[in-house]
Chains A and B, each alone.
Chain A
Amino acid sequence: MGKFEVNLKINNIPVTVEEGTTILDAAKKLNFRIPTLCHHPDLCVAGNCRVCVVEQKGAKALTAACATPVSEGMEISTNSAQVRTARRHVLELLLSEHRSECTSCYKNGKCELQELANEYRVNETTFMKLVEEKGYTIDDFSPAIIKDDSKCIRCQRCVRTCTEMQSVSALAVINKGEHQKIATFMDKPMHSVVCTNCGQCVTHCPTGALVEKNYIDQVWDVINDPELHVVVQTAPAVRIGLGESLDLSPGNRVTGKLVSALRRLGFNSVLDTDFSADLTIMEEGTELLTRLKKALVEKDTETALPMTTSCSPGWIKFIEHKYPEYLPNVSTCKSPQQMFGALAKTFYAQKKGLKAEKIVSVSIMPCTAKKYEANRPEMRDSGYQDVDYVLTTRELAMMIRQAGIDFVSLPNEKYDSIMGKSSGAGVIFGATGGVMEAALRTAYEIVTGREVPFENLNILPVRGLQGVKEAKVLIENVKPEWGFLEGAELSCAIAHGLANAKKLMDKVKSGEMSYHFIEIMACPGGCLGGGGQPIPVNDEIREARMKAIYEEDSSLSIRKSHENPEVIALYEEFLGEPLGHKSHELLHTHYTGRKKY
């Protein structure tokens, strides 16, 4: 059915839009912003906060602009006296249910409710405060996410995120009327339910009801302790996201400023997770080839294929809960963060002549699940907790502000050595399809001795925001030792966002599709859209960040993980070979299944 045009008037100004457009979007076209809270471009329409109500001529009641499509001849007023009164009432009601401790709130200045309350000059004392009377609990048991019901405005953005976008359904609406609230299964703490710690609820929460657990004070403490040597690693997606929290527009690459800022904050050594991303490719690429050899040549039925990536801790927790039978398919490689952590307190300590117990390892991640990952019992192979503190991109931005650093004017500086060098392959880990692309760049070359047959090494079929992507790579003219792969077609799939991961896994499970290698990232867009990245987020912003990631890749002289000189040196001096004894000890792990709730 073709789209028809609809003519209407908004605030007496005629406008023509496509059939199906909401009043909200039609108004936007005329540069009228209608305030919203429950609405989010990533999510389905809810129409429940009612702050976007507008007046429609001839209608008895007001209309929710976010939930109502335009119709021919409609006359809308977005700012009548009636609308303003209703909106003010809605805001006053929300505030009466909201524990306002704005000055100490983590979301102060970034809270959508606060912003609207300010805009409408809402009087918080008009109605009676309901918060204390009802009682509330703050769930801060999880190392990743804090859920504070007293700040919740019941917009259900988190519920829709968790259910639609992520297929996790850790959060749901319970009870009705005055007792209605957002809860986990049996209202248990977030860390003991099916929650993957992906933090998408955090990036979609308009208030401070869902925030990451922040470790800013702890990190200041270790920085200020002269006895300690504090190393910091920065994930690929941080360098293309951080600017958004520091007055820059989406899509700005700020790698050099990021390094400068970290140095100015007082970290002893500023290093790069991209380095360990390259290392991951060496290990994971080799693991894939080994698995293929075992399965195809040795006919070993125990070898699980397809192999899936293991970099995304949200995905790991998801598969532990939802597809535990597929855990053998997960690459045994730790994530780049954890590889880095394990090496920081072993290899790095040895090279720098430092005692491991004097090293504090901090990571800056676009992710909240990384906080959980760092605290996993599996992640202590250095003999210590491999990564001590994980900060999100947002927390780092806050530290930079606290330190009074004028970020935008900072000079560009370079990462320290060792473990500070990266290839373009390491950088693209931050985008969906990036691990696949990086792995293919290396694995194809190992097997054939030639570069991947894509222009400028850019494997375009694996890029972009499409939910599930597939790619096939024909392997020809291989080196003699890889003869068994001659003529084979490597079949790959990529999913980002856990709802897409579920779609893909269900197809694998049902036998509808079969692959050799699957990349899964828990967050839409991959790490660039991670739960620890600047807020707000939507597809437009994800696209901008993605563009920046690939620009960063192109700007680097080394584009392939196996050409990273620091990685080569690491194998020569410390690890021996990929999948070697030392690697197994420090860089690989296994996960265990969990229950479905």
Chain B
Amino acid sequence: MENKEFKLVDLIFETEGCDVGVVLDRVLKRTPDDIIMDMIDSGLRGRGGAGFPTGLKWKFTRSESAYDKYIICNADEGEPGTFKDREILERVPMKVFTGMAIAGYAIDAKEGFIYIRGEYRFLQKKLQSQIDEFNLMLENKGLDFKIALRWGSGAYICGEESALFESMEGKRGEPRNKPPYPTITGFRNKPTVINNVETLVYATMINKYGVDKFKELGTRDSHGSKVFSVSGDTPKPGIYELEMGLLVADFVKEFGDGDAKAVQIGGAGGTCVPRKKFDDFIIGYEGVPTGGSMMIFNSSRSMYNVLHDYLEFFTEESCGQCTPCRVGCQQLLKGIEAIKRGERPPSYLDDLKSLAASMRIASKCGLGQSVANPFSTIIDNFREEIIY
């Protein structure tokens, strides 16, 4: 397994010498197809967590012939333990907008929207004036593309792309059936590119520095770097941009408090890696992928409580439309409570694990499908903590 040393990177938050106008000028001199080829070549994958190749997403949308197409920046950052998009939007908003404009140019979209988490309302005034400024710049450059803000209302599920479209259309935020995918039928049923905040900034940086500089970083399947939100039992919580492919053990060595017993990678819907497996995984698509949330737990933490919290979260944040997710989450939660109270035998955990496996394959969207990640990995590694 190829892994990388701990290395801080400064691409996302780099401000020095980063004139987005210059980047845009360079982009506009090239053809959309060249831009998309570069994006594919860079190997950039969605930084929201799902990791779909960004260039392909753009390519599919470009090949649709619809007159109306949209670029959406998914800033509905709601995964527990993730707080990087807020920071990016606060510190380098222009680079986000530029990524959207590049995408818009590449797929021939005229409108872009930033769907932002309702809790980030405090950013509104500043962000709006920066958007106005940016739109004006595009107008001056003769690029027919405009960005507008749209606000979420606090539902976790609205970060799921199709639920996000529904929410933007004024409907109840519930995921749609797929296919069709957003590249064909997205916002207002038009071809839509929806990218995470961080992904869009990388799009800007790839266009600034070229593909090679990006590809220098990371491993074979996990090119580039990534912003991590580090929290939990760590002496230095915060936001760090690191090269992809870091061994979990090296991550813990850098950020842990010396007593880490587990790292939850990828938020509530992510994977729990216990101490004994720190050396087995890298952070990346070959190992454990993440949207950026890294929660470290030391030996003072009860993994029952950790799991219980996650399940409470999912029980509340499931949209409720599909059976496996709506009822499954409740059953997992009530189930571990019943085992803890001794009302159900420890073997009931196996029934629940089997249920979680069904939720993974039968749920309608990524939310219900991902509940099995923390459930199975915590149960498998900390079974005794759950039961006793």
Binding site for B on A (CB under 8 A): 45-51, 53, 60-62, 64, 67-69, 82, 85-86, 89-90, 93-94, 96-97, 126-128, 130, 153-154, 156, 173, 175-180
- The answer to whether B331 and A176 have CB atoms under 8 Å apart is no
> Which residues on B sit within 8 Å (CB–CB) of A175?
320
Q: 18 new A-B pairs (CB below 8 Å) besides A154-B326, A176-B157?
A: A50-B322, A50-B362, A68-B177, A82-B361, A86-B324, A86-B362, A89-B354, A90-B358, A93-B324, A94-B323, A94-B327, A96-B331, A127-B355, A128-B334, A128-B344, A178-B315, A178-B316, A180-B326
> Which residues on A sit within 8 Å (CB–CB) of B335?
127-128
A126 → chain B closest CB, angstroms = 6
- The answer to whether A154 and B321 have CB atoms under 8 Å apart is yes
A94 and B335 alpha carbons, distance in the complex (Å): 16
- The answer to whether A49 and B330 have CB atoms under 8 Å apart is no
- The answer to whether B326 and A89 have CB atoms under 8 Å apart is no
Cross-interface CB contact of B358 among A45, A68, A86, A153, cutoff 8 Å: A86
> Which residues on B sit within 8 Å (CB–CB) of A156?
321
Cross-interface CB contact of B331 among A51, A127, A153, A177, cutoff 8 Å: A127
**Smallest Cβ-Cβ distance to B362: which chain A residue:** A86
With contacts A130-B334, A177-B317 known, is A85 near B354, CB below 8 A?
yes
B147 within 8 A of A: no
B309 within 8 A of A: no
- The answer to whether A62 and B362 have CB atoms under 8 Å apart is yes
| Chain A proximity mask over B342-380: 1 for CB below 8 Å, otherwise 0 | 001000000100110011111110000100000000000
- The answer to whether B364 and A48 have CB atoms under 8 Å apart is yes
- The answer to whether B369 and A176 have CB atoms under 8 Å apart is no
- The answer to whether A176 and B317 have CB atoms under 8 Å apart is yes
* Majority SS at the chain B contact face: helix
- The answer to whether A93 and B328 have CB atoms under 8 Å apart is yes
> Which residues on A sit within 8 Å (CB–CB) of B170?
none
- The answer to whether B364 and A50 have CB atoms under 8 Å apart is yes
A35 → chain B closest CB, angstroms = 13
* Majority SS at the chain A contact face: loop
With contacts A154-B320, A176-B318 known, is A64 near B364, CB below 8 A?
yes
With contacts A67-B177, A127-B335, A130-B327 known, is A48 near B322, CB below 8 A?
yes
- The answer to whether B324 and A97 have CB atoms under 8 Å apart is no
- The answer to whether B179 and A69 have CB atoms under 8 Å apart is yes
Q: What are 9 inter-chain pairs, A to B, with CB distance below 8 A?
A: A45-B177, A50-B362, A60-B361, A97-B327, A130-B331, A177-B320, A178-B315, A178-B330, A180-B318
With contacts A85-B354, A89-B355, A130-B334 known, is A61 near B321, CB below 8 A?
no
- The answer to whether A180 and B323 have CB atoms under 8 Å apart is no
- The answer to whether B316 and A128 have CB atoms under 8 Å apart is no
B329 within 8 A of A: yes
With contacts A50-B364, A64-B177 known, is A178 near B319, CB below 8 A?
no
B357 → chain A closest CB, angstroms = 8
A128 → chain B closest CB, angstroms = 5
> Which residues on A sit within 8 Å (CB–CB) of B358?
85-86, 89-90
B172 within 8 A of A: yes
B155 within 8 A of A: yes
